[in-house]
Structure 1
Amino acid sequence: MRDATEMAVLRRPAGATEPLTAAAIGALLGLTWAAALRAYMVTIAGPGSSFTWWTLAAILLPGAIAGACIGVAHARRARGRAWLLGLAPFAFTALTMLEPGALTALVTTGIGGGAIAVPAALVLGGFGLGTIGPRAARIPCLVLALLLAAGFAAAVPLAGGPAVAATTARGAWAILLAAGLLLTGMLGTALAFRRDRRA
């Protein structure tokens, strides 16, 4: 009689990835995505941008966490509620709001709103591009996510000033980076919201 491990291997769909491997790959991709997000922030803030260990922790760590969770969700997509790991981009919100004074700044000035809007766009877009849930719910979520992405890109000149105006090479680069980050983030998050039809 075969043991439980062998039976689990036999039941695994062809081409399935081990959760640990998927988590490692996802963490690396999430970390790289978050580093690109930080590069976008530097472009917008200009010379006044500063790096601290907290900056790295609040941007890079959630990227790695979100990527790892999405990787595991994709690897375990045949399981019932693995898609809940697709909510992991909200780690950006949680860690950003832990910084002293961040919540007060959000309420009084609106600074830090991107820590909510960006993860929301990723999750809404990921769900919209996924295969879990009714299409009638997924389509409006995808439309809303795309509107958030368009707004994120359009806000580059408003947030960064003349240095990143859409008519400058730097501004065009920043706008493309902003849009690309949101769109690739949605595509990546969608892996958590796809059900394995072979299972």
Structure 2
Amino acid sequence: MKPALIGAVCGLAWAAGLRGLMSELAGVSSHVSWYGTFGQILLPGVLTGALLGYSVRSGDRRLIMAPLLFAVAVFVSPDAFKGLLFEGGIGGGAIALPLFGIAGGYLLAGRGPMWTRVLAGVVAVAPVPLWPLTNGPFGPDFAVTTAHGAWVALLLYSLIAVLEMACAIPLAGRRVSAAAGNQVR
């Protein structure tokens, strides 16, 4: 099976899980829409997964930036042009999650100078201590000391970890050339 197709399906599953997390956080005010859910979350998830999967064969290291498609989807939205970029709850996450993923992918790939990997590591793990400190606006049920809050935190952390691992793919050391079947660096 083609790595890009596998990546697309994995990206769809990941984005659907992310939408579930968003729904949990928003509670009764959450609503599923064609543009918001499908256009700004699921479609970028499919495309990001496909590009990261494609990088298995292509060896294109620039594809580590694929998660930025989430930010692009938000910045070209009608809300952005009305000055409501961060009003719907998608804007900030569309920027932060890709940055966590890219930083974690860079760290996990083990490439580059040590100081850049350390810096990337700080960004990659930032959600772990920050989530318990910043989840107060969602209500007391989201405190990590409750079963519900611990579950939400683990869902968030696992989604970030999966994105970080996927973002390491374009920087992986050895690849199989699509044309020749030879291993290349």
What TM-score does the superposition give when structure 1 sets the normalisation length? Answer: 0.79
- Partners in 2 of 1:56 and 1:178 — Cα distance? 20
- Partners in 1 of 2:39 and 2:157 — Cα distance? 24
Alignment of 1:170 onto 2:152: no
After superposing on structure 2, the runs of 4+ consecutive aligned residues of structure 1 that deviate more than 3 Å are 106-111
Alignment of 1:118 onto 2:92: no
RMSD, aligned α-carbons: 2.3
Gaps of 5+ in 1: 1-19
2:8–2:49 Cα contact (<8 Å) kept: yes
1:22–1:71 Cα contact (<8 Å) kept: yes
Alignment of 1:33 onto 2:14: yes
2:74–2:85 Cα contact (<8 Å) kept: no
Q: Which residue pairs with 1:4 in the alignment?
A: none
Identity %, equivalent residues: 36
What TM-score does the superposition give when structure 2 sets the normalisation length? Answer: 0.84
Question: 5 Å matches for 1:30-109?
Answer: 30-54=11-35, 55-77=37-59, 82-102=60-80, 104-106=83-85
Shift in Å, 1:157: 3.1
Tell me, what secondary structure is at the counterpart of 2:84? helix
Tell me which amino acid in the other structure corresponds to 2:51: C
Gaps of 5+ in 2: 176-182
- Partners in 1 of 2:124 and 2:102 — Cα distance? 8
1:156–1:164 Cα contact (<8 Å) kept: no
- Partners in 2 of 1:186 and 1:30 — Cα distance? 12
Alignment of 1:195 onto 2:170: no
After alignment, is 137-146 or 88-97 more displaced? 137-146
- Partners in 2 of 1:110 and 1:99 — Cα distance? 13
1:156–1:171 Cα contact (<8 Å) kept: no
